[in-house]
Amino acid sequence: MIDQAHERVRAIYGSEIGCKRNELITPALILDLKVLRRNLDVMAELMKTMPAKLRAHIKVHKSPDIARMQIEAGAIGVGTATIWEAIVMARAGIKDVFVINEVVGQEKIRTAALLAGEVPLKVAVDDITNAEALSEAARQAGSQIGCLIEVDTGMIRCGVTSPEQALRLAHRISELPGLRLEGLTGYEGHCSREPDKAKREPMARKAMEYFVSVADLIIRNGLPCPILSAAGTATWEITASNPRITEIQPGSYATMDGYHARMEPRFKQAISVLATIISRRSELIVTDVGKKTVGADEAVFKDYDYPILRYDEEHGIHNIDDSCRLSVGDKTELFCGYTPFAVNYFDAYYVVEGDTVVDIWPIVPRGPQHGGLLNALKDR
Amino acid sequence: MTVGAAKRGIETPALLIDLDTMEDNIEKMAKYFSGVKSNLRAHTKTHKSPTIAQRQINAGSRGICCQKLGEAEVMTKYGIRDILITSEVVDPEKIQRLVRLAGSHDVKVVVDNLKVAKATSEAARREGVRQGVIVEIDVRKKRCGVMPGEPTVAFVKKVMEFEGLDFRGLMGYEGPFFDIPDFEKRKAAASEVLRSLKDTVDMVESEGIIVHDVSAGSTSTHGVAGEYPKVTEIQAGSYVFMDSTYKKLGGLDFECALTVLATVISRPIPERVVVNTGWKAITQEFGMPVVKDHDDAKIYHMSEEHGMISVDSASKIDVGDKLELIPSHCCTTVNLHDQYYGVRKDKVEVVWPVLARGKFQ
């Protein structure tokens, strides 16, 4: 599956290997290997002193190649948002895959059970009926699915909403055949929306205090709770410092974007989008990169400070002044507001070393299409 | 997913078309244009599907618009001949691809820059073709285009001097006026913008230049631009699917044909359900999607793979149930997906690829 994906995108974009990064056909998604490697090294170095381990969330980049690099740089495994992403990661040879999301729906549950027969798969659970369905599927497949109870630590999304609810679910999971109670997951996503570090850190600390108290209740009742998994790039450090948290699940640290750069300046932006100026007049400049290319979070020039006037579907419109030397036909790079959004529109990365394209890497699975899961599983 | 299967069996998130509704929309638009002098040139940026484009042409659309050269290349592969590319093509590599298409198809492109016009003319001469060009006028938006009036007249004259270019007309996009739901008010606003397009056409024609095509319009203003003097063709696209934003506009007799099928993956508290559909499957730049057939259910937040929905605590929605979400913006939502499930009476009738998705190069 992974080799085929490489072949497919190399067939489409491979003729540009060897080109300069500023000469590519636009819009082009550029991955700067040097910056990526540096981010992975910085994280590896910082994690050395932390009690927690790193689990890299791959929903950001959807790249088997980057995921492998993250494992090489010390991540214990990967986190995914969907079962489809988990198949891709398993096929990429990654042994520890955690779908940090509820897996619901007959076909998806069956897929999870079959995949769990191949790799030690973990999923998040917050509902007893769902746990029972997972158990039944695992029993039929002859596999065992690792379950982490999702605890809502303040984000207000999925997850059990009280320690007692978590305990009830833990009891049920521990008695169901085919399931293995592995612990708790509780991404404190509400903290990632707080730009002020002085406010964000106490918020995250408080969320984790509650999270740990849920684990304590489960342990007091004689049930296992070996894994406590939480955190994103905006809270990784404070949460990884908590001696009770066993693993953190950030993703954006590897490639970064405008949103996270404001909160975590130690990591640098490794992904950019090359744009062409398609129209210019005295007060504004228009690129061929719009919302259908980078998403609603828009993008800013990497090398210039020209404010956004508006983003349309296929046009990025920026205000300029007389000093602007860009003219129609020129190419220039943009940094994305939110990388997971932008990446999701592209089929492939142009991988650059310095100024030169050295490879094309596929983005799999691009888009929300989850159909044909069981077929995907047959695809080695 | 097998054709003939029940809609509720489709794996989610999935992009659904209600075929009856889409066909009604195509028919209604065709009926409108059968009664006016202008023609429809359906904008396919909405659906990116040659199959749907062909249906629009079969219903009377004179040709299609594409926003990108890559999209036009896909459409020509599936037998569509008459295409207007509605954004500027400026890269030398892309200009080369453009003129190559023009050798076998009636592919026109908008221009607003003389350097680009010159490069296009040289490429067309090398290729031995005449490249159809439409001069884009910036009648409303601060985006691309030559300024209306004298600057356009001067620009057109220069374009006509370039060998290899075939000047076909002018384009001015006046829409969409989402902020004016009232049709009469929208008509007044659109007419004011269209006047500068018409005046510019008059000025160009008074120089003895033939303006074959005057291309304007959108779904929200087709009833204005479609009857405005000098306008020959209307670039409506969203009418085929509609969305919750367009549905707020008065004077549009189309229904929502496009939904995203989602699965409820969690109901942590009685007042909240969470679906497996976030903004990696449905866009939110025009607001939250609408939950179809559940009046109490309101989407109040989305993240990448989650949609958070407030419901009545007595709601019967349960984990594992499937809900249909009506997008607030059909064009950008389609752009996220690789295929459509065409559904009729709750059965999957066809599966169509979104063939021009991602063809933004």
- How does pLDDT run across A329-356, given as a tens digit for each residue? 999 999 999 999 999 999 999 999 999 9
**CA–CA separation, A192 vs A74, rounded Å?**
24
Give me Rg for the CA atoms of chain A.
22
Beta strands in chain B (DSSP E): 14-18, 39-43, 63-66, 82-85, 106-111, 131-136, 165-172, 213-216, 233-234, 258-269, 272-275, 290-291, 298-302, 307-310, 322-326, 339-344, 347-353
Helix or strand holding residue A311 (H, E): strand A308-311
Question: What would the pLDDT profile of A162-207 be if each residue is shown by its tens digit?
Answer: 999 999 999 999 999 999 999 999 999 999 999 999 999 999 999 9
Nearest CA in chain A to B91: A329
Q: Is residue A370's pLDDT more than 60?
A: no
User: CB-based burial of residue B161 (10 Å sphere; 0-12 exposed, 13-18 middle, 19+ buried)?
Assistant: exposed
- Between A366 and B43, the more confident residue is B43
Give chain B's mean pLDDT. 96
8 Å CB contact of A156 and B272: yes
Q: How many H helices and E strands in chain A?
A: 13, 17
Select from A293, A313, A341 the Cβ nearest to the Cβ of B331.
Answer: A313
Nearest CA in chain A to B136: A279
Task: Return the structure tokens found at A151.
Answer: 């605890």
Task: Return the structure tokens found at B293.
Answer: 């057939």
Residue B98 CA neighbour count, 13 Å, CB half: 37
Q: Is residue B309's pLDDT more than 60?
A: yes
Which amino acid, one-letter code, is at B51? Answer: T
Q: Which of B200, B73, B81 is nearest to B147 (CA)?
A: B200
Would you state the pLDDT for residue B275?
Answer: 98
8 Å CB contact of B305 and A279: no
Tokens 């210039």, residue?
Answer: A304
Band (A369; pLDDT cuts 50, 70, 90)? low
Question: What would the pLDDT profile of B77-121 be if each residue is shown by its tens digit?
Answer: 999 999 999 999 999 999 999 999 999 999 999 999 999 999 999
**CA–CA separation, B338 vs B26, rounded Å?**
22
Task: Return the structure tokens found at A133.
Answer: 């369905």
Q: Is residue A379's pLDDT more than 70?
A: yes
Q: Is residue A262's pLDDT more than 80?
A: yes
8 Å CB contact of B320 and A189: no
Mean pLDDT of A131-143: 98
Task: Return the structure tokens found at A56.
Answer: 């890299």
Inter-residue contact B358 to B301 (CB < 8 Å): no
Residue B217: φ, ψ to 5°:
90, 170
Would you state the pLDDT for residue B79?
Answer: 95
Which of A24, A110, A164, A288 is the best residue to mutate to test the B interface, defined by the most B CB atoms within 10 Å of its own CB?
A: A288
ipTM value for the complex = 0.91
Q: Is residue B34's pLDDT more than 90?
A: yes
Task: Residue B338: list chain A partners with CB under 8 A.
Answer: 366-367, 369
Name the CA dihedral angle for A363, A365, A369, A375, rounded to a multiple of 10 degrees: 140
Mean pLDDT of A220-226: 98
Task: Residue A364: list chain B partners with CB under 8 A.
Answer: none
| Any B CB within 8 A of A11 CB | no
**CA–CA separation, B329 vs B333, rounded Å?**
6
8 Å CB contact of A126 and B143: no
Query: How close A50 comes to chain B (CA, Å)?
Result: 29
For helices B19-34 and B50-58, the axis angle rounded to 10 degrees is 40
Strands B233-234 and B39-43, sheet pairing = parallel
Would you state the pLDDT for residue B1?
Answer: 58
Give chain A's mean pLDDT. 95
Least confident of A33-47, A186-200, B1-15, B27-41: B1-15
Cβ atoms within 10 Å, residue B324: 21
Least confident of A86-95, A309-318, A362-371, B55-64: A362-371
Mean pLDDT of A2-12: 94
| A145: helix, strand or coil | strand
**In residues, how long is chain B?**
361
Would you state the pLDDT for residue A371?
Answer: 56
| Any B CB within 8 A of A61 CB | no
Q: Is residue A380's pLDDT more than 90?
A: no
> Which letter, b or e, does each residue of B210-228 get, where b requires 16 or more Cβ atoms within 10 Å of its Cβ?
ebebbbbbbbbbbbbbbbb
Would you state the pLDDT for residue A378?
Answer: 78
**CA–CA separation, A308 vs A298, rounded Å?**
8
Question: What would the pLDDT profile of A276-330 be if each residue is shown by its tens digit?
Answer: 999 999 899 999 999 999 998 899 999 999 999 999 999 999 999 999 999 999 9
Chain-centroid distance of CA A215 in Å reads: 25
> Tell me, what DSSP letter sits at residue B74?
H
Q: Identify the sign of the CA torsion B352, B14, A91, A268.
A: positive
Would you state the pLDDT for residue B234?
Answer: 98
Task: Residue B332: list chain A partners with CB under 8 A.
Answer: 291-292, 296, 313
Helix or strand holding residue A78 (H, E): strand A77-80
- Between A148 and A373, the more confident residue is A148
Q: Which of B246, B215, B265, B254 is nearest to B86 (CA)?
A: B215
Band (A372; pLDDT cuts 50, 70, 90)? low
Q: Is residue A367's pLDDT more than 90?
A: no
Would you state the pLDDT for residue A366?
Answer: 85
Q: Is residue B59's pLDDT more than 60?
A: yes
Mean pLDDT of A253-271: 96
Question: What would the pLDDT profile of B157-193 be if each residue is shown by its tens digit?
Answer: 999 999 999 999 999 999 889 999 999 999 999 999 9
User: CB-based burial of residue A199 (10 Å sphere; 0-12 exposed, 13-18 middle, 19+ buried)?
Assistant: exposed
- Which residues 6+ apart lie within 8 Å of A198 measured at CB? none
Q: Identify the sign of the CA torsion A340, A346, A349, A354.
A: negative
Tokens 């998040």, residue?
Answer: A124
Q: Identify the sign of the CA torsion A69, A75, A77, A79.
A: negative
Determine what percent of chain B is predicted with pLDDT higher than 70.
99
